[in-house]
Chain A
Amino acid sequence: MKGWLVEFGPVHPGLVESIMKKLTLLAVGFILFAIAAPALAHHSFAAEYDANKPVTLTGAVTKIEWTNPHVWIYLDVKEESGKVTNWGFEMGSPNGLMRAGWTRKSLKIGDTVTVEGSRAKDESNHVNARSVALAGSGQKLFAASSQGQ
């Protein structure tokens, strides 16, 4: 893991395209997880998150809420300016994550992870996570996102 990475979209189509290409490279792995753990039904992704605002954020885990209806993790993310901001990431239900290979011990406070997902429409520091990659092991987990509903 080389430093802290912060990417925001969409702003201009080229950036979106480059992010989408990167995501497509990961498609095979995601599809495997997607089959095992489809979306959570709790809410409409489209009402709350914007698929046109893909983000990739890396940071240290500060809090884990392993609860229904959605698991939330929080990361301290250092921006290019050096400012540290706490972001919240919504994932699937504990059951959905479990079927995708997670346990409640998959992440620990202080772990460095990279999350890909879509930012909240209300511009708050909330993201619907699609995948979580652990910096230590390189393990990547599908986040049982509700995107697509």
Chain B
Amino acid sequence: MTGPAPRVNGKPDLSGVWQVEAEPRAPGGLFGLGESPNSKYFRDILSDFARGEEPLTPKGAEILRRNTQPGVVGPNLKCLPDGVPHADLLPEPFKIIQAPGQIVMLYEVLTIFRQVFTDGRKLPPDPSPVWLGYSVGKWDGDTLVVDTMGFNDLSWLDARGHGHSEDMRVEERFHRRDFGHMDVAVTIADPEVFTKPVTINFVERLLPDTDVFEHICSENEKDSGHLPGTTK
């Protein structure tokens, strides 16, 4: 896994099944079992900041307050999609297919996809707001830089409940440092909710012996009925 990254047409080939590196919530994990690791940014996109010192605008703080009220649940509990970059941070893997002119990202959860256009097109001036936005990509040396906008304001940035506006802009920088590891730096700029752009760094690990599989969440959703305070 530490051998050289494969290359195609002079650039690193990012194709593969990837899963974010994760850590247990406490040393040794809950009960010392190390079970259920997930990324701290999956849990809290602002986990690099001390509580109370998060760079939230009043609107950003209000969204968090609203989303943490009893009975309020995130979109994914209702089998609605995860947004960007949260979809990169899920415990479930996603697959990258690098093709000429576009890079496709297939997210296992909800069986959804992104198309990152690398054919030189510009971002559209007024795209229809959607969960995963509109993405274009270009290479900066061996790093793929993906610029995404055109989001709706429905997705949560993390499990904690941070939200964003339709004006959010996300830059993801993907650098496959070797065969088995991809360094990712994500910068989220949304002046409506953050007082300054927020950058997080994490690692995606190649999963060489699995695939992404269909996952249609709403087949048999039962959790919402059991949650304290939720509408049955």
Asked if B217 and A69 sit within 8 Å, CB to CB, the answer is yes
Which residue of A has the minimal Cβ distance to B161? A44
- Contact A41-B42, Cβ < 8 Å, known A68-B219, A147-B35: yes
Asked if A42 and B30 sit within 8 Å, CB to CB, the answer is no
Interface of B is mostly: loop
- Contact A42-B76, Cβ < 8 Å, known A48-B226, A68-B219, A98-B213: yes
- In the complex, chain A residues whose CB is within 8 Å of the CB of B216: 68
- In the complex, chain B residues whose CB is within 8 Å of the CB of A120: 226
Does B1 count as interface, using CB distance less than 8 angstroms?
no
* Residue with the greatest number of chain B CB neighbours at <10 A, chosen from A70, A95, A99, A147: A95
- Contact A72-B215, Cβ < 8 Å, known A34-B35, A41-B76, A149-B38: no
Q: Roughly how many angstroms separate A146 CA and B37 CA in the complex, as a whole number? A: 9
Does B73 count as interface, using CB distance less than 8 angstroms?
yes
Does A124 count as interface, using CB distance less than 8 angstroms?
yes
Q: CB within 8 A of B219: which of A39, A54, A67, A142? A: A67
Q: CB within 8 A of B76: which of A26, A43, A130? A: A43
Q: CB within 8 A of B36: which of A39, A65, A67, A90? A: A39
B: contact size bracket: 35 or more
Contacting residues of chain A (106-130) with chain B, CB-CB under 8 angstroms: 120-122, 124, 126, 130
Which residue of A has the minimal Cβ distance to B221? A69
Asked if A148 and B30 sit within 8 Å, CB to CB, the answer is yes
Asked if A148 and B37 sit within 8 Å, CB to CB, the answer is yes
Asked if A34 and B36 sit within 8 Å, CB to CB, the answer is yes
Whole-angstrom distance from the CB of A17 to the nearest CB of chain B? 11
A: contact size bracket: 35 or more
Asked if A48 and B30 sit within 8 Å, CB to CB, the answer is no
Contacting residues of chain B (71-103) with chain A, CB-CB under 8 angstroms: 73-74, 76-77, 79, 82, 90-92
The interface of chain B, by Cβ under 8 A from chain A, is 19, 22, 24-25, 28-38, 42-43, 73-74, 76-77, 79, 82, 90-92, 108-109, 159, 210, 213, 215-223, 226-228
The interface of chain A, by Cβ under 8 A from chain B, is 20, 23-24, 26-27, 30-31, 34, 38-45, 47-48, 51, 54, 65, 67-70, 72, 90, 93-96, 98-99, 120-122, 124, 126, 130, 142, 145-149
Chain A to chain B contacts (Cβ below 8 Å), 10 pairs: A24-B31, A39-B37, A45-B36, A68-B218, A93-B92, A95-B92, A95-B213, A145-B35, A148-B25, A148-B38
